[in-house]
Amino acid sequence: MSHFNTFKQYLPWIQKPLLIIAPMSGIAKSKLATAVTTAGGLGQIGFLDDPQDLTDELELTKKALANIESQTLPIGLGVIVFGTPMKPWLDLFAKYKPAVAWLSFASADELKEWSEGIRRASPQTRIWIQLGSVSAAVEVAQACRPDALVLQGIDAGGHGHEDGASIVSLIPEVTDTLSELGFDIPLIAAGGIVDGRGCAAALSLGASAVVMGTRFLAAEETAIPAIYRSAIFEASDGGQVTARSRVFDEIWGPNFWPKTYDGRCLKNQVYQQYTSGVDIRKIRSWLSNAMNGPDAERLSVQDMGSIWAGTGVGMVKRQEKAADIVQEVRGDTIRYLERALKYL
C-alpha cells in the first residue's frame, strides 16, 4: 500500500515518488539537505557528534529553506543512537523541530526511549527508524509505534545489519509480517538503489519511498574530498569491489560498534590482508608504516581509510547537482513503471 499521501501531510513540499537522501554521517550536511528538499525530496543532515557543528548546519539549513511552507524544518535529522547522550539532541529537536527524526543502530528499548523523548520535545517531528531484519521490524513496531520503518538491505553502503537480506526479500516479508500483526506502517527502501530502475523495483516490492546514499556521493553538494569522489567514479562491478566487514571499523583501533552491525566499503589492502588471516594488529602496524614511509604515494585513497559505498557504486560515474539527480531518478522511475504496465 502506498503511503505517499500520509507523507504529504507532514512533508507538504514533496513530489511523487518520494526520494530521500540517506543521512550519511559527516558528509550529508546543510548544502545537500537543502538541495534535495528544494527539489521535492527529503533532504537530511547526517549524524554529527559535535553539538556545535550540528547547530551550525541546522542554522544554515533553516535560513536556506525559509521559503518552504512547513510547520517543521523541512529536513530529516539522522541520529546514531547507541552511545549517544540524549539530552543535547532533545534540546536541538525542541529548538529546530525537524520534520523527521531518523533513528538507527540501537536496541528496541533504546529506540523507544528516544522516540518518546523526541515526541515530547518536538511533537510534530515524525519518527522514522532504520533497521535490517524482519524480527527487528516487528520488535520496533511494537515498542515504538514509528511513523515509518526504513528497511535497509545488505546492498547498502555504510553500516547496517551484519546478518541481513536484500530489499528484494526484506520488504515483502516485513510487509506480510506486519500486516498479519495488524500494523499499517509505511516502509521505506534503502540499499542498492541508485537510479529509476531500482526505485521502480523498490516501489513494486511494496515500499512507499526510497533512500539513496551512494548515488549522492556524486552530488557536488556532498561534503567529501574530491579524491574520495574519484575513487567512487573509478569503481565498477559493485558486488566485487565492495564488501561487508567489521574490519573497516578496526583499522585504527578496537571496533566500538555493537556486534549486530558491520559496514560495506570499497575493498582495500586492509580487507585483503584481514581475509587472508593476517592479525589486525599487524595490519595496523603495516598501514601506519606504509602511510609514513617513503612509498606512501603508492597507497590508494581507499587503503588509507574506509570509503563507505554500496553495491550500486559501479553505476555512479560523474559529478552532478543533487537536484538533477532527484529529477532524473523521479522521471526515470515513472517511465520504468509505465513500461512495466505494458507487459500486463
- pLDDT for the residue numbered 325: 98
Cell numbers found for residue 42? 527529503
pLDDT of residue 306: 87
What does the pLDDT read at residue 252? 84
Distance (Å, whole) CA 101 – CA 265: 25
Pairs from 140-145 (Cβ < 8 Å, separation ≥ 24): 140/108, 140/111, 141/178, 141/181, 141/183, 141/185, 142/108, 142/181, 143/108, 143/109, 143/111, 143/112, 144/108, 144/111, 144/112, 144/115, 145/115
Residue 1 has pLDDT above 70, yes or no: no
Q: Cβ neighbours of residue 255 under 8 Å, at least 6 residues apart?
A: 246, 249
**How much is the pLDDT for 331?**
97
Cα gap 126→44, rounded to integer Å = 13
Percent over 90 (pLDDT), the chain: 89
Predicted pLDDT at 113 = 98
Tell me: the pLDDT tens digits for 165-182?
999 999 999 999 999 999
Domains with residue ranges and CATH for the chain: 4-225+315-341 (3.20.20.70), 236-308 (no CATH)
> What pLDDT, on a 0 to 100 scale, did the predictor assign at position 302?
80
- The answer, yes or no, to whether residue 193 has pLDDT greater than 90, is yes
The band of 314, judged by pLDDT with boundaries at 50, 70 and 90, is very high
- pLDDT tier at 343, thresholds 50, 70, 90: confident
Q: How confident is the model at residue 192 (pLDDT cuts 50, 70, 90)?
A: very high
In this predicted structure, what is the pLDDT of residue 288? 85
Give me the mean pLDDT over the 149-153 stretch: 98
Q: Give per-residue pLDDT as tens, 261-309.
A: 999 999 999 999 999 999 999 999 988 888 888 766 777 788 877 899 9
| Predicted local distance difference test score (pLDDT) of residue 275 | 95
Cα separation, 48 vs 54, whole angstroms = 6
**Closest residue by Cα to residue 150 from 181, 171, 164:** 171
Q: Is the pLDDT reported for residue 2 higher than 80?
A: no
Q: What is the pLDDT of residue 339?
A: 92
- pLDDT digits 0-9 by tens, 215-235: 999 999 999 999 999 999 999
Residue-wise pLDDT for 55-89, tens only, equals: 999 999 999 999 999 999 999 999 999 999 999 99
Query: Is this structure's pTM higher than 0.75?
Result: yes
